[in-house]
Amino acid sequence: MRLLILGASGAGKGTQAQAIAKHFGIRHISTGDFLREEIKPNTALCRAVKRLIDRGDLVPDELMLSIVHEILEGDDFILDGFPRTFAQALALDEICEKLGCPIDMALNIHVPDDDIIQRITGRKVCPNGKAMFHIIFYPPKEAFMCDHCGGVLEQRPDDTASTVRHRLRIYHERTLPIIDFYHRQGFLISTGGTGDVAEITQNLIDLLNAKLLVAKLEKEMQKGIRR
Which residues in this chain contact Zn ion in the complex, by CB under 5 A?
126, 128, 131, 146, 148-149, 151
**Residue (38 or 147) nearer to Zn ion, CB:** 147
Radius of gyration of the chain (CA): 18
Write down the least CB distance from residue 6 to Zn ion, Å: 30
Contacts of 104 (CB under 8 A, 6+ apart): 1, 2, 3, 187, 212, 215
123 is catalytic: yes
The residue among 61 and 147 lying less far from Zn ion, judged by its C-beta, is: 147
Told to judge if 47 belongs to the known catalytic residues of this protein, a careful annotator would answer: no
The catalytically annotated residue of 13, 50, 119, 124 is 13
User: Is 50 considered catalytic here?
Assistant: no
β-strands 132-134, 123-125 pairing: antiparallel
Residue 80 bridge partners (DSSP): 5, 30
Which residue among 27, 55, 156, 211 is the active-site one?
156
Q: Quick one: 149 or 213, whose CB is closer to Zn ion?
A: 149
Nearest distance from C-beta of residue 172 to Zn ion, angstroms: 34
For residue 80, with 0-12 CB atoms within 10 Å meaning exposed, 13-18 middle and 19 or more buried, which class applies? buried
CB of 130 to Zn ion, least distance (A): 9
Active-site residue 167, yes or no? yes
Residues 6+ apart with CB under 8 A from 70: none
- Is 226 one of the annotated active-site residues of the chain? no
CB of 137 to Zn ion, least distance (A): 18
Contacts of 175 (CB under 8 A, 6+ apart): 6, 8, 84, 85
CA torsion sign for 138, 139, 144, 146 is negative
Q: Which of 2, 50, 119, 123 is catalytic?
A: 123
The residue among 39 and 146 lying less far from Zn ion, judged by its C-beta, is 146
Q: Which active-site residues does the annotation give?
A: 13, 84, 123, 156, 167
